[in-house]
């Protein structure tokens, strides 16, 4: 009984996915934005754009940067980054704009803030602990040998 129920639920879910997938597929069928798969002519600007793209997270695929993703959304973001850099903005301005819009999640490089301070404080603490352990182990035993 539960088996049939779960099968029915699965079928329903499959239908729902198929239904919601239609508009998404239609969207994917649009040609990618011009600079999704095109380099900027200025190689220095392209390098700056590329460096930034490696630091930005693809929000639809997760676990990949927009530089590495073939998702349409990542392509749109690449287009955005390239056109902004081409328009003369620097990488940090573009990153800041994206962070404001999408939150800290978008950037693989966490910036110091309310939600991220432990990422910076704990390594310092860890360094201090490491130093204390090293000094105690190594320094404290000098007299024992001499």
Positions that interact with another protein (CB under 8 A): 3, 31-32, 37-39, 50, 54-55, 57, 61-65, 67-70, 103-110, 115-116, 118-119, 122-123, 126-127, 129-130, 133-134, 137-139, 141-142, 144-146
Any bridge partners for residue 107, and if so which?
Answer: 56
Nearer to another protein, 31 or 88 (CB): 31
What residue has token string 């301005």? 93
- CB–CB of 56/107 below 8 Å? yes
Which tokens sit at 141? 């035993």
CB atoms within 10 A of CB 75: 19
Please, what is the minimum distance in Å from the beta carbon of residue 87 to another protein?
20
**Closest to 59 in 3D by CA, of 42, 44, 40, 80:** 80
Please, what is the minimum distance in Å from the beta carbon of residue 116 to another protein?
6
Please, what is the minimum distance in Å from the beta carbon of residue 67 to another protein?
7
């Amino acid at each position: 009984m539960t088996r049939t129920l779960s099968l029915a639920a699965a079928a329903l879910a499959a239908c729902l996915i198929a239904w919601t997938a239609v508009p998404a597929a239609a969207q994917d069928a649009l040609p990618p934005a011009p600079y999704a798969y095109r380099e900027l002519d200025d190689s220095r600007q392209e390098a700056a754009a590329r460096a930034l793209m490696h630091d930005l997270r693809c929000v639809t695929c997760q676990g990949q940067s927009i530089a590495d993703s073939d998702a349409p959304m990542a392509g749109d973001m690449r287009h955005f980054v390239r056109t902004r850099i081409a328009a003369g903005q620097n990488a940090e301005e573009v990153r800041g704009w994206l962070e404001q819009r999408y939150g800290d999640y978008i950037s693989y490089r966490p910036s110091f803030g309310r939600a991220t301070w432990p990422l910076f404080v704990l390594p310092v603490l860890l360094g201090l602990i490491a130093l204390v352990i090293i000094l105690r182990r190594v320094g404290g035993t000098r007299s024992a040998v001499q």
